[in-house]
Amino acid sequence: KNYEILIRFVHFPLHPETPKEGKLLEELFRCGPEDVEAKNTHMKNLMTAEGLQYNTRRYTYNSRLAQEIAKWAEIKMNSGIIHNKFFEAYFVYGRNIGDIEVIIDIIKTIGLCEEEARTVIAERSYKNAIDSDWAKSNNLGVSGVPTYVSNGQILTGAQPYHFLKELMDQIGAEKKPR
């Protein structure tokens, strides 16, 4: 909101091998529950510092279909609001964003047509677009999410605002008039 920049989401294959029902974080990270608890505490502290909600997670879910429907919703609404809703569903409420009914619930909260969304999912209408995003992420060397890329500069991971501000200053982004 402080800079004249265009934000584009480019999707990333975050654990694409995750089964539909999800995977325990202990299994994903090959660690014990105390390590998962430490990761959750660290993430909660980062999110709280930025005024964002976060709850303890036990599972990771396959986000492929969510990414495909998000691409559709971005185009349909000319907005990235869908991403906030998926982040909230996953990180705050622990919902399985790979489950079609969860996806449809989220679609309905932003006012998009359920039947059209079901068709997009069934036909995998945005599969190629997400394949393209995944290839672009790979070519850029993206290794985690979020990753911020601008003018060859890359910043990976959940970052405090001042690091994002530094990135904007480094690339010469224009500030919005106040």
Residues in the chain: 178
Helix (H, G, I), strand (E, B) or coil at 147: strand
Output the pLDDT for position 25.
96
Strand partners, 147: 156
- Check residue 28 and give its pLDDT: 95
Q: Determine whether 9 is exposed, middle or buried from the number of CB atoms within 10 Å of its CB (0-12, 13-18, 19+).
A: middle
Specify the residue for token string 């060859």: 152
Residue 123 CA to residue 117 CA, distance in Å, equals: 10
DSSP bridge pairs for 153: 150
Please state at what angle helix 64-77 crosses helix 127-140, rounded to 10 degrees: 100
Tell me if the pTM is above 0.95.
Answer: no
Is residue 98 pLDDT above 80, yes or no?
Answer: yes
Contacts of 101 (CB under 8 A, 6+ apart): none
Q: Report how far residue 122's alpha carbon sits from residue 164's, in angstroms, rounded to the nearest whole number.
A: 38
Percent with pLDDT over 90 in the chain: 75
Q: pLDDT grade, residue 6 (50/70/90)?
A: confident
Query: Looking at residues 45-70, what average pLDDT do you find?
Result: 93
